[in-house]
Amino acid sequence: MARTFDTLLARMQELKDLSGVVGLATWDQETYLPPKGEIARASQLATLQGLCHERLVDPRVGEWVERAATEALSPDEAAMLRVFKVERDRAVKTPQALVKAIAESQSHGLAAWREAREAKRFAPFKKALQRLLELRREQADALGHDGERYDALLESYEPGMRVRRLEPVLGRLKDQLIPLVEPLATASARRPSQIAGRTFPKAAQWEFSLTLLRQMGFDFSAGRQDVSIHPFTGGTHPLDVRLTNRIDEANPFSAIFSAIHEGGHGLFEQGFAEADWRTPLAAAPSMGLHESQSRLWENLIGRSHAFWEHFFPLLRQAFPEALQGVTLEDWVFEANRVSRSLIRTESDEVTYNLHVVLRFELELLLLNDALPLDDLPAEWNRRMETLVGVRPENDLSGVLQDIHWAWGELGYFPTYSLGNLYSASIHAAAQRAIPDLEDRIRRGDLLTLREWLRTHVHAPGFRLPAEERVQALTGRGLTDEDFIAYLKRKYAAAS
């Protein structure tokens, strides 16, 4: 006799396929879509996401979920059912008209954001952001919350996390990091840059970024890298993972660390177990855990001395003129220079989480309609000066720098800090499990670490919630102790 779960699984697989098509259309929107195609793409995405929602909230699916829960299921099937039920319960609470309105407004938001960036002024983006905020408030209220709208949206990215727990975590980080910035930034400022004013040709940067991704084990027969305004990872399936990057000829670190960062995301996406590919288990349990992989590769590996002992000679071959007279020590120092940067994606490990705190605090205000949009750029600038010690000259380097609000992605930014905390704990566990890890990296062996992560983080997918996965791997859950200890060890000489 056929099981109801098998009928339900077919619907799960169908939804996974549709989600992949949405992912492809969104990736194309950020890479190759011609400007006049924006209007058409907005309608297409609204229709696709409306179809996904309709197939998910179908009353028959609810009946299948209830009946499947009474059947004899394997542990993996029970995990699929648990994850799918949570997703469906949230979808049922969200009207289809709202889903389509959000999708269409996201497309319009992206177009307005690009226009505002060109003008270096917030004004062209204001109306689109206002609409996205209205829709997200409506969504939060539809999903339900215990007095804090932000919790309802945060749940989409970090299941189980709440503002009441997040605020103390970010508060502790802020209190510990702000005192570190002044002495480290001052020490860095005393050492002149050895690469300032030099030109790193785009073509050579692109090829070097591809070399790094290959060394990390990113499978280019199951993925690719393209150009976008804001680097991101997307795609349709573990066999079709799309990375993007951006090139600045005056700043090679932008492309290098974006490639490593997005490569960390890409390895996660390519690393799900084949048996899970078209099921809810082929997903990260949270964006915080996903970010732990990109931040681990970017910072704990990619900024380490051991990493550049292997890769700096290759870099010198790629840029013989630009790196003339630059030593390995010069390069590693530049890769870890602490400065009061305006741009989050290019900030150092000490100040990075302060950028996240700024966005989190502003999102709480925006979602609660406690900050007029006319005041947003000035409030951004004021908080940036208070937290990081620098004030933007224009909105391009201020409130317009991130793509997330153009997508209406409120609740996402805290996952970057959670990813930093998880990354330090996971890296410490990897060092315990692979005692010669640093020597392996020094020799250019990145695949040993990739395989360890694939086994312990990637392949398990969504079988456990994020914090439980980290606890099973490291012996404890969310903590800032490993991250702060790592920073203090790394910068001890400079402080």
- Catalytic sites, residue numbers: 262
Tell me if 43 sits within 8 A of 103, measured CB to CB.
Answer: no
474 Cβ partners below 8 Å, 6+ apart? 425, 426, 428, 429, 482
Question: Cα(454)–Cα(477) distance, rounded to whole angstroms?
Answer: 19
Task: Answer for the pair 459, 271: CB distance below 8 angstroms, yes or no.
Answer: yes
Over the range 366-376, which residues count as b (16 or more CB within 10 Å of their CB) and which as e?
bbeeebebeeb
Q: How many residues does the chain have?
A: 495
CA pair distance 75, 284, nearest whole angstrom: 18
Q: Which residues have CB under 8 Å from 445's CB, separation 6+?
A: none
CB 388 within 8 A of CB 397: no
Going by C-alpha positions, the residue among 295, 296, 327 that lies closest to residue 312 is 327
H or E stretch covering 430: helix 414-433
